[in-house]
Structure 1
Amino acid sequence: MKDSLTSLANRRTDVERIRSSYRRLVTARLPVNLYGAQAQVQRRAATLLHGLDEESLSWEEFDFIHLADDERGDRTSLHLGGAAGGVALNFHSGLIASAGTGTLYLANLEKLGYRAQHVLCSLLRARRYTPVGDPFPRPLGCRVIVGTRRPLFELARRLIVRRELSEALGHISLSAEEVLSVLGAREFYTGHPGSLAAAS
């Protein structure tokens, strides 16, 4: 019994240490690639990362599967940057503006065509965007999390995503299942009766 309580305490310490590293990552607002076989696990992991930053209230998400046929990247640019004054298609605010200083979660990145990927890559590298009808660029202040079925560097090696996009987004690739197991475990260890026994 004592060994099991010690093991539980050690596991809890490891979880808190990894959780702390995730919090530093989120606070730094670096792009993150969450990969996994199931889209709902990717999204759940993204929401848990978003929740680590108590100052990030806004959340926007978009599934790139809806832009899989955007061969020139025009619609991708419009959805991300938006239009000033509803110039195009009454699209007043793009995803980046709506996300503000919060989180922009983009699912199924690998579904984007190469030109649309170039649009996204340009925005991320410049850290600014210019809405349609607005002559002035605006800073990109949101945290970007992208969900893919496999790590971006692997998708780039298979020529599914552009290498430069992989470099812009894929330096920090995390398994969605692992993030979920670590951040989702907090409630278990907080409320589990064994946590009180291990601490005593």
Structure 2
Amino acid sequence: MPVTSPLAAKVKALRAMAERPDTPADERAAAERMLTRALRRAAETGELIEEQPAGGHAAGRTYGPKHDETEGLSIVDLARLMRQDIKLARKLGQAAAEPGAVVVPGLGALPRAVKVSVRTSTYAAGGRSIHIRLYLPADGWGLVDGQRHGRTAKVPGPVLEAALAELRDVHGAYQADYGSDLSRDLIMRRYLGGVDWTRPGEPD
């Protein structure tokens, strides 16, 4: 895989952080989780020839690559891991701003003015959810003119969409679907929720 590939740059940066002896333990753990996701995506797209990370499908069930090692954790603990993953991804982006550094796409491209929240909810019926939201600044960083719900509106441009895609990877890495059937309105997932964005003036 060429070193100019954005995914190759991400794998290189994450592997370096995970293997560096002076990396704090929590950052090393987050780097290893992100590296697993990056290698999984690379294997799916054919950019890397490496062993497929954990996760996959079994008897109508689907598991995220980090499901097995986090099985039994509370929704609060899962949200904490997601926050760590996001924090590390943004830190890599800040490091990439230095001359000669490896450029890491996705969350690493977000400016400091963009805030990210990870919120959890539990329901009386027993369900639970994790919501990840990007809060854009008033100037609408990352948005371009496009169509939304059939109307002309501001929509995510390529850079912002790459960050949202990485957030969806973070959100799905710990997920499990135990046999949902949307035709019967049957949802059997480890948690609900998803990823979205907003900016001042739009409903929170």
Structure-1-length-normalised TM-score: 0.26
Of Structure 1 and Structure 2, the greater strand share is in: 2
Of Structure 1 and Structure 2, the greater helix share is in: 1
Higher relative contact order (CA 8 A, sep 6+): 1
Structure-2-length-normalised TM-score: 0.26
The structure with the larger Rg is 1
